[in-house]
A = this chain, B = another copy of it.
Amino acid sequence: MAHITFTLQQLATHIQADFKGNPDYTVQGITTLSKATPDHVSFLSNAHRRQELKTTKAGIVILSRKHLPYCHSHCLVTSNPYLGFAKIAQLFSPNVPLEYGIHSTALIDKSAQIGAKVRIDPYVVIGPRSIIEEGAHIGTGSIIGSDAWVGRDSHFFPHVTLYDGVKIGQRVTVHTGTVIGSDGFGYAKEDTGNGFRWVKIPQQGSVYIGDDVEIGANTTIDCGTLEDTRIEEGVILDNQIQIAHNVTIGAHTALAGCSVVGGSTTIGKFCAIGGKTSIADHLVIADHAMIAGGSNIAHSIEKPGIYGGPFLAHTNWKRNTIAFQNLSKLLSRVRTIEKQLLGNRSPRVRLKV
């Protein structure tokens, strides 16, 4: 990796932070408080780790004002140290300019339109009438169907597959193994006298992915039945997510790994959905909803707030979980009361356990 250095002053300017210490103090990397040396900038974003300020050898620490008194290093003071960390880490991991060119093993249909300065890696296949805009990078073995569109400066890691007609915006990143545009799971039952068979509903829509979306590895996004499945700008999707047909995900919403969104569900803007969450089909989730990981969401969510756990909104969920953990004791307790109250008479409601 190239040797990149920044001064305290430069870093402060870059993240619009105040600083304490020598403006010319220089660092050449970013890492955790525990691993940092005087050549590193580090960060404190979680108050639980404040005691690490005592022992860290970091040359510079990004932190919020309330932790400043505990900092013995040079300091960058900002209201959002985690964002400061993200931006400074980007400084130390600059985008390498794309080495453009089209590998000789790439098979590109004559009718496809390929922009300037694209990079198309080995064994890529691009179908008829597809458009790859300037600056795009299509990774090894990726397959792009016919009539697809990949916007400027988008980047596919290896083995991404776009079915026919999928449209991808600008500066979109897609990781390996992700499949966009596969058929939605739509079938009608036809009675056959002694049972039934499934009659496939042709999936005629496609998928639209907005600008600045990032999609993880081995995620699947199905095409729509009659209209397009839509992932709006700035959405981030983790690995192994399943987006069913006709879903819309609003701008800047995040879904963590292994979440599932059922068919025809609409998720609002600015939502944050924890890993392994399941959202049923035909729901509407309000803007700014936050859903705890592992939740099964079976009903629409009508207003912003924190939701989740297997059944419930977050506040009740915590108390109910504790109650659930003592449910068998509660049962014994009710029995005790019954006995005292009702003596030997059998209760009017009997509980079989």
Interface residues of A (CB under 8 A from B): 30-32, 35, 80, 82-83, 85-87, 89-90, 92-93, 105, 107, 121-123, 125, 140-141, 143, 157-159, 161, 163, 175-177, 179, 182-183, 185-191, 195-202, 204, 212, 214, 216-218, 220, 222, 226-227, 234, 236, 238-240, 242, 244, 251-252, 254, 256-258, 260, 262, 269-270, 275-276, 278, 280-281, 293-294, 296, 298, 310-312, 316, 319-338, 340-342, 347-353
Contacts and interface: CB of A to CB of B under 8 A. Distances in A.
B337 A341 contact: yes
Contacts of A252: 195-198
Closest 5 CB pairs of A and B: A93-B202, A86-B188, A319-B328, A182-B217, A294-B296
A194 to B, nearest CB: 10
Contact of A83 (B199, B262, B325): B199
Given A320-B324, A331-B330, A200 B175 contact: no
Pick the most buried of A214, A238, A239: most chain B CB atoms within 10 A of its CB: A239
B311 A321 contact: yes
Given A260-B276, A323-B328, 19 more contacts: A35-B226, A86-B186, A86-B199, A89-B201, A143-B176, A157-B161, A176-B182, A177-B179, A177-B218, A195-B270, A220-B240, A220-B257, A239-B242, A240-B242, A311-B321, A316-B328, A323-B327, A324-B327, A337-B347
Contacts of A196: 252, 270
Contact of A125 (B86, B140, B234, B254): B140
B325 A311 contact: yes
Nearest to A236: B198
A310 B105 CA distance: 50
Given A200-B90, A218-B220, A226 B275 contact: no
Contacts of A328: 316, 319-320, 322-323
Contact of A157 (B163, B260, B298): B163
Nearest to A89: B202
Contacts of A260: 240, 257-258, 275-276
A161 B185 contact: no
Contacts of A31: 226
Nearest to A256: B185
Contacts of A183: 175, 214, 216
A175 B179 contact: yes
26 contacts: A32-B227, A80-B188, A85-B188, A86-B188, A123-B125, A123-B141, A125-B140, A125-B141, A143-B176, A175-B182, A185-B236, A220-B239, A222-B239, A242-B275, A244-B257, A260-B276, A275-B280, A280-B294, A312-B325, A326-B331, A329-B349, A329-B352, A330-B351, A333-B349, A336-B347, A337-B341
B342 A340 contact: yes
A191 to B, nearest CB: 8
A327 to B, nearest CB: 4
A105 to B, nearest CB: 7
